[in-house]
Amino acid sequence: MRIDILTLFPKMFDGFINESIIKRAIENKLITINIIDFREFSSLKHKQVDDTPYGGGAGMVLMCEPIVKAIESVKDDDSLVILTTPQGKSYNQSVALDLKNYKHLIIVCGHYEGYDERIRNFVDLELSIGDYVLTGGEIPAMVICDSVIRLIDGVIKKDSYMEDSFTDNLLDYPTYTKPADFRGLKVPEVLINGNHKLIEEYRKEEQRKRTEERRPDLLGDKDGKD
């Protein structure tokens, strides 16, 4: 997979692409990530990319030209262009699973007061990572990349994500490691006895129980509720 991230602040991604699993995925040539400063596509003096809004109002608005030109410079027949915006579709694991099937993602990071509305004519999908507003789209872009990249074959073991939270609309089961007894807090006996059938049953039950307690909204369709 190839990912092109269009941003005004390329250095924000230095740590993201040079650490941990993302770094290894790049080194193993499972993914390619390009960080593109769309300021370089401005034809105005001083590489201006924003201006005051028509009709008045607070803040500055990102202009069409630099962003659209940046998109067009990397877009091909395999591209999916994503706009990060609080007005977008809510991002979740189901969307991540869909995005991993694309060969090329282009992610546009917004900033300032917002985008010129006409930019939306040049994107395929608008995504929001939550009902709150950030200073820019760089963090959402990292969230999207991280959640998609870990699903790509070879990045991590498939078993590591098949039972993740939100798979099959369930939260993950509780996990433990040594010691078996920490200050009187003991690991459930079923996990120690070596009976894999009972362990699997225990984990499925714990997934269900935890989801009912913490995120009952995820079980709505399963229980026939709204």
Domains 2-149 and 163-219 agree in fold:
no
Task: Kindly give the pairing relationship between strand 185-186 and strand 181-182.
Answer: antiparallel
Per-residue pLDDT of 8-18, as tens digits, reads: 999 999 999 99
pLDDT at 203: 93
Which two three-digit tokens encode residue 93?
């694991």
Per-residue pLDDT of 119-132, as tens digits, reads: 999 999 999 999 99
Per-residue pLDDT of 45-55, as tens digits, reads: 899 999 999 99
Residue type, 15: G
pLDDT at 224: 41
pLDDT at 75: 98
pTM: 0.86
- pLDDT-flagged residues of the chain (< 50): 222-226
Query: Residue 172 to residues 154, 169, 204: CA-CA distances in angstroms?
Result: 22, 10, 9
Which two three-digit tokens encode residue 4?
């092109």
Domain boundaries, the chain: 2-149, 163-219
CATH classification (class only), 163-219:
mainly alpha
CATH no. for 2-149: 3.40.1280.10
pLDDT at 49: 95
Measured CA to CA, the distance from residue 139 to residue 129 in angstroms comes to 9
pLDDT at 225: 43
The alpha carbon torsion through 94, 97, 99, 101 (nearest 10 deg) reads: -140
How many CA within 13 A on the CB side of residue 221? 4
Positions marked active-site = 86, 113, 150, 164
